[in-house]
Amino acid sequence: MPLHRFLEIAAWTGGVLLLATYAGVRTWSAQASEDGVEALNRARAEHGAALKQSAVASAADTSIRSLSTTQPDTTTWDKKRIAEYNDALTKQATPQAVLRIPNLKLEVPVYRGTSDFILNRGAGHIEGTATVDSQTGNIGVAAHRDGFFRPLKDIQVGDTMFLDTVTATKRYRVSNISIVTPDDVSVLNPTTTGTMTLVTCYPFYFVGSAPKRYIVHARLDDESFARGAKN
């Protein structure tokens, strides 16, 4: 084969290979660019969702905190309990949640622990029970019979109650009401389903140290309520 013919074929073949390589690079570059845009869009969406969730949590936290300084209806409270509540307001406390029972017009902030100060200020989350954010387990909440929990004397099986936390609003229905001795701690036993147990002293108008405990058991509804849902 003449040399000039060989060089022409070589040049043509090299050009084809170069074009093929260029096309492949362009295809890879376009795909990489498309993947990058999709990744960026996903990141933006996730960031937006995180910001929205953060804003919702912040608003919920503000709402929960504000209730801790809202004056409750004390018309049925014992005078001594009112004085102790007002004294407790002079100290700082951050609630974990808000317990609401619409039928009883009851709204009470729930704090960590059950010290005298906590129970004078609101309701207390009983240590060792499920956390207020839990979807399973038994959440124990206690309060005084002559203060925030006095309306429990009128609660009935089937009544609805809500537990507002920073992350969610959970709806419960009263499943059982019982009266036990103070040493019967079985009412706070762990459960495999979502439950909440309210504990207060009994009888409600007993003079002195009440000899019994009034127990309200409630079950978590299957439907989970979003923040801001209507009751």
d(CA 176, CA 155): 10
Name the active-site residue from 4, 47, 201, 217.
201
201 a catalytic residue:
yes
What burial class does residue 141 get, using C-beta atoms within 10 Å of its C-beta: 0-12 exposed, 13-18 middle, 19+ buried? buried
- Decide if 118 contacts 93 (C-beta within 8 A): yes
E-state strands within 11-159: 97-101, 106-112, 123-125, 137-142
Residue 196 near residue 139 (C-beta atoms within 8 A)? yes
Q: Which of 4, 47, 125, 144 is catalytic?
A: 144
Closest CA to 210 of 162, 168, 161, 147: 147
**Could you tell me which of 217, 67, 215 has the C-alpha nearest to residue 145?**
215
Measuring CA to CA, how many Å separate 228 from each of 48, 94, 165, 210?
19, 21, 12, 38
3-state helix, strand, coil in the chain (%, to 5): 40, 25, 35
Active site residue 125: no
Element counts in the chain: helices (H) and strands (E): 3, 8
- Rounded Cα distance between 145 and 77, Å, is 9
In whole angstroms, give the CA distance from residue 89 to residue 79: 16
Query: What residues are annotated to the active site?
Result: 144, 201
